[in-house]
Amino acid sequence: MDNRQEWWRGAVIYQIYPRSFMDTNGDGIGDLKGITRKLDYVASLGVDGVWLSPFFTSPMADFGYDVADYRNIDPIFGTLRDFDEMVSEMHKRGIKLIIDLVLNHSSEKHKWFEESRRNRTNAKTDWYVWADPKPDGSPPNNWISVFGGSAWEFDPARGQYYYHQFLKQQPDLNIRNMAVQDELLDTAKWWLDRGVDGFRMDALPHCIHDAQLRDNPPRPLPPPDGKTVIHPYSMQWHTYDKTQPEMIPFLKRFRALTDKYPDRMMVAEVNDDKTVETTISYTNGPEMLHTAYDFSLLVHEYSAAYIRKKVEEFFATPHDSWPSWALSNHDSIRVASRWAVNGKSDPAQAKMLLAMVTSLRGSSFVYQGEELGLTEAVIPPEKRQDPGIGSTGTGRDGCRTPMPWDAGKNGGFTTANECWLPVPPEHAQASVTAQERDKNSMLSFTRSFLKWRKGHPALLRGNLTFESVNENVLAFTRAGNGETLFCAFNLKPTPVTIPLESGWAPVEGHGLPSRAQGQSVELAGFGGFFGRKKT
């Protein structure tokens, strides 16, 4: 296959959360014109593409993941003309654009649902998942919403419950209905025709439910330890409310559509009880999706053994799937805080982690602000916005705060008196402007490392083999395209010396601290080493 049609293999894709990137109209909320204004900055990072979180017309119950019109732009973000200009300017800079496609559910304000809930005889009556109550009036089964509570909401007009795996304002589409599939595919075609380069497919395992609506079995949990937050959603095995086999032909239809366009790709979001198995099944072979990333590295567990285990699980059996990896996104605590050793974030660790995740075999997703080493913001209760707070403790607001462009008011994000979420003082101090003046900053490192990385074909598409050198060091070789590299990353703040087999020559220019001497390498705290096989 022509490699130009597989630009996504080994690519680094930058996630933009539009509400929080750049505001140009002074309302305290980011917009599409703000993204366009900052595209030179995005290009300077050395990324290959952008994943843009939802910007569709929406009541914003879940900040755009409750779509009321799949073919229009919400006025707070701008217009279709603004979108077209943004796409054109991205492409001028060689940046691909992947947009979020929310397939599992719409907003309750979508015209489809407003018609569907009217009665049981309308043209859209089975476009959503409806079910009769049990004889005692209770919900049809025991399925639980991701945000807590029953996943069923009673609608008096129809005298039935509708299914919502997230907020009650996000009713689940009935993707078993071929008319719904056709409409979603036609929507995807509409955006492809408009010039997008692909889709990030939201909450994909959720899209099809068990036709018999069988109860999920209980899931044993460890005894309370006073630290771990237990969510009701984790008290069940999600055997019947998600990840059904009927998803496969649906995804094949999507692949057939995108294959009609050159250089397009689809990345699945996967998070379920059998994440690796599902990820592979959704991406294995030329008829399936191009890649998928899961939540394996978006958790609190942090060790070389854990990261190695999760990567090895993916490659444990022969298949034709290509993984994608991420350490942060708009739904998770920022990695600079989540993986901070002894509770203290460290710029050296942030540099090492970015180099590590973009050196794994696969594609990489970097969340806005990760290139600045931003920590999780602490949002006062009265300023919180996240509708999922009830199920996630403090919610997801801490990773969604506006980008700090300078040290001025609101971090230079907006001219409004207030942003939709506050900019923490520590973020303003770590602003783009401040870091651009510092050649040792996280931003400077990101730019130089990603540029350096592109000069090493083994890091883009080479095979990966792990090496055991030290319990605190993640080490592996990448081999392919005429190059073999040895990569080692110290995950701890204390220096460590590891053995180095003969035949490896240090590669300079990556920016991580280490020193090779004979047949050993001293890795600084949070240091890293790259060696090339001598020829």
Alpha helices per DSSP H over 335-408: 335-338, 347-357, 389-392
The band of 344, judged by pLDDT with boundaries at 50, 70 and 90, is very high
Is residue 278 predicted with pLDDT exceeding 80?
yes
Average pLDDT estimate for 9-34:
98
Confidence at residue 294, expressed as pLDDT on a 0 to 100 scale: 85
Is residue 392 predicted with pLDDT exceeding 50?
no
Confidence at residue 390, expressed as pLDDT on a 0 to 100 scale: 45
Is residue 169 predicted with pLDDT exceeding 70?
yes
Confidence at residue 525, expressed as pLDDT on a 0 to 100 scale: 98
Tell me how far apart the alpha carbons of residues 154 and 146 are, in angstroms, rounded to a whole number: 18
The band of 227, judged by pLDDT with boundaries at 50, 70 and 90, is low
The band of 387, judged by pLDDT with boundaries at 50, 70 and 90, is confident
Tell me how far apart the alpha carbons of residues 84 and 196 are, in angstroms, rounded to a whole number: 10
Average pLDDT estimate for 312-330:
95
Q: What are phi and psi of 101, to 5 degrees?
A: -115, 115
Q: Examine domains 3-104+178-453 and 462-533 and report if their fold is the same.
A: no
Is residue 393 predicted with pLDDT exceeding 70?
no
SS (HEC) of 167-213: CCCCCEECCCCHHHHHHHHHHHHHHHHCCCCEEEECCHHHHCCCCCC
Is residue 149 predicted with pLDDT exceeding 70?
yes
Lowest mean pLDDT among 113-122, 227-236, 525-534: 227-236
Tell me how far apart the alpha carbons of residues 494 and 269 are, in angstroms, rounded to a whole number: 35
Q: Select from 342, 134, 142 the least CA-distant residue to 233.
A: 142
Tell me how far apart the alpha carbons of residues 281 and 434 are, in angstroms, rounded to a whole number: 45
* Second-level CATH architecture of 462-533: Sandwich (2.60)
Q: Which CATH code is given to the segment(s) 3-104+178-453?
A: 3.20.20.80
Q: So which residues are the catalytic ones?
A: 202, 269
Tell me how far apart the alpha carbons of residues 126 and 175 are, in angstroms, rounded to a whole number: 10
